[in-house]
Amino acid sequence: MKYWLFKSEPESYSIDDLKRDKKTFWDGIRNYQARNFIRDNIKKGDLVLFYHSNADPNAVVGVCEIIKEAYPDNTAFDPESKYYDPKSKNEEPTWFMVDVKFKFKFKKPVTLQEIKNNSKLKNIRLVHRGNRLSLFPIDKNEYEIIIAMSEK
DNA sequence: GCCAACGTTGGC
DNA sequence: GCCAACGTTGGC
Kindly give the pairing relationship between strand A3-8 and strand A47-52. Answer: parallel
Instruction: Give the number of domains in chain A.
Output: 1
Q: Across the strands, what pairs with A149?
A: none
Q: Which nucleotides of B are covered by protein (CB under 7 A)?
A: 4-8
pLDDT at A91 over 80: no
| CATH number, position A78 | 3.10.590.10
Name the residue range of residue A131's domain: 3-150
Give the model's pLDDT for residue A63: 97
Question: Is the bond preceding residue A57 a cis peptide, omega within 30 degrees?
Answer: yes
A89: left (phi over 0), alpha (psi -120 to 50) or beta: beta
pTM of the model: 0.93
Residues, CB < 7 Å to strand B = A 31-33, 129-132
Q: Using the 8-state DSSP alphabet, how is residue A120 labeled?
A: G
Q: Across the strands, what pairs with A136?
A: A5
Give the model's pLDDT for residue A90: 80
A33-50: pLDDT as tens digits? 999 999 999 999 999 999
**Angle ∠(A96,A109,A6) on CA atoms, nearest 5:** 10
> Mean pLDDT across the stretch A118-130?
92
